[in-house]
Amino acid sequence: MHIPDGFLSPTVFISGWGAAIGTLSFALKKTRKILKDKTVPLMGLMAVFIFTAQMLDFPVPGGTSGHLLGGVLSSITLGPYAGAIVLSAVLIVQCLIFQDGGLTALGANIFNMAAVGTILSYYLYAALRKLMPKINISAAVFISSWFSIVLVAVFCALELSISGTSPLNIVLPAMVFVHMFIGIVEAIITTFILSFIMKVRPDLIYGGKK
Amino acid sequence: MKHAFIDIYADLNTPLHKLNTKVKIISWVTFLLLIISFPIRYAILPYGLVIIILIYLSKVPLKFIFNRLLEMAPFIIIIGLSALFRKQGVALFFNCTIKAALAVILTLIIFSTTKFTQLLEALKQFKVPRIFIYLLSFMYRYSFLLEDQLLRAKRAYESRSINNKNNFKKVKILGNILGSIFIRTYERSERIHLAMCARGYTDEQNN
């Protein structure tokens, strides 16, 4: 999911950086008001948590290993925009310290995982809750977490294909297939963690008790 | 706490360590762009040479570099394999994977020779928004702590369960452990935050 250097064409990675900077500037503007309260230490905590959690990887069919994203986890507790900022910070550290994901690809990676995997997936969760008010909260969490992973994979595949590195008819099915399994693990763990938090400290959920 | 995955070799005394961090970062970005801009068959010799010199100057152990490459290799190779399906796929495969490998080595050298605090200072001077600096420093300070807690929780769980074959239960317990560690760590950060406020810290610094 973290695209290394050398696989994206200049057009794609420069657009990726543009998209990332645009998303983050927007997110910063949106979170300016809430940064004065207790959200900041919670954001820091989320960053550490997701950073550590992303170090646990599990084998998946297809040969590689997958790891957690934490996009829905951070956006439901912090809100979509603060969550995106946290995810981006985690990606930056992973790129610089662990070389997981290249610098040129960092823009695209941030866009994939912070904009699509966090913000978009949060609105998917919100839409599910709003349009189907009878839906079990955990089900909404599960579905949006699963989609967050699959959507990231789709965008990844699109970027690789537009760069001319991989043919779309190979990379899209391959990535989506593998990430459907990763998505299930992400969905299960996110759902369990969030249901625990909702029970014990519902005030840590964005928007109060949701 | 025996583990340290940041700043492992940041205390050595080499020209690279002593180089100004902002200069290092700008050179790193420039060199990276150069590496990926040219087809690898022309670029490999000169850039490979420079990287070997940098490895030598930095005194970072080869084993460390090799291990990092090994960690990243599966991802690089698997994405590279998809390139084989393109026209002239073999050339493209080597082009991408070797560039990716060089980028990994270069980034590793640059940041192994930089203390994390120096990196944060340089980012601040590059006008990176404060919230990112804050989050990065938080990760630096607390990830070791959290890793300790996770290891302890894992040991506690293992010493209390024998032959737990029920995967659903395992995942549920994992979720509960992670959730409770999350909340405990949050409450610890609340206490720290209050302690800081009681000593004059103001939140205005963080927006």
Q: Tell which phi-psi region holds residue A6, choosing left (phi > 0), alpha (psi between -120 and 50) or beta.
A: left
Residues 6 or more apart whose CB falls under 8 angstroms from that of B189 comprise A41, A42, A44, A45
Q: Does A197 touch chain B (CB under 8 A)?
A: yes
Answer for the pair A130, A122: CB distance below 8 angstroms, yes or no: no
User: With a CB-CB cutoff of 8 Å, which residues 163-182 of chain A face chain B?
Assistant: 164-167, 170-171, 174
Is the Cβ pair B104, A99 closer than 8 Å? yes
| Tens digit of pLDDT at every position of chain A (210 positions) | 899 999 999 999 999 999 999 999 999 998 887 666 667 778 888 899 898 888 777 777 766 777 889 999 999 998 999 999 999 999 999 999 989 989 999 999 999 999 999 999 999 999 999 998 888 899 999 999 999 999 999 999 999 999 988 899 989 999 999 999 999 989 998 998 898 888 888 888 887 644
For B55-76, give the secondary structure using H, E and C: HHHHCCCHHHHHHHHHHHHHHH
Give the pLDDT of residue B42: 82
ipTM score assigned to the predicted complex: 0.89
Question: For chain A, how long is the longest CA-to-CA vector?
Answer: 49
CB B120 within 8 A of CB B10: no
- Record: contact A47-B135, CB cut-off 8 A: yes
Residue A33 is classified by DSSP as T
| Residue pLDDT, tens place only, B34-78 | 998 888 888 888 999 999 999 999 889 999 999 999 989 988 998
Cβ of residue A34 closer than 8 Å to a chain B Cβ: no
CA distance A102 to A84: 19
**Count of C-beta atoms within a 10 Å radius of residue A66:** 21
Q: Model confidence over B158-167: pLDDT tens digits?
A: 888 777 777 7
Query: Minimal Cα distance from A93: which residue of B?
Result: B136
pLDDT, residue A184, reads 92
Q: How far apart are CA B181 and CA B186, in angstroms?
A: 8
A66 sits in which H/E element: strand A65-67
Q: Are B6 and A98 in contact (CB under 8 A)?
A: no
Q: What's the mean pLDDT when you consider all of chain B?
A: 86
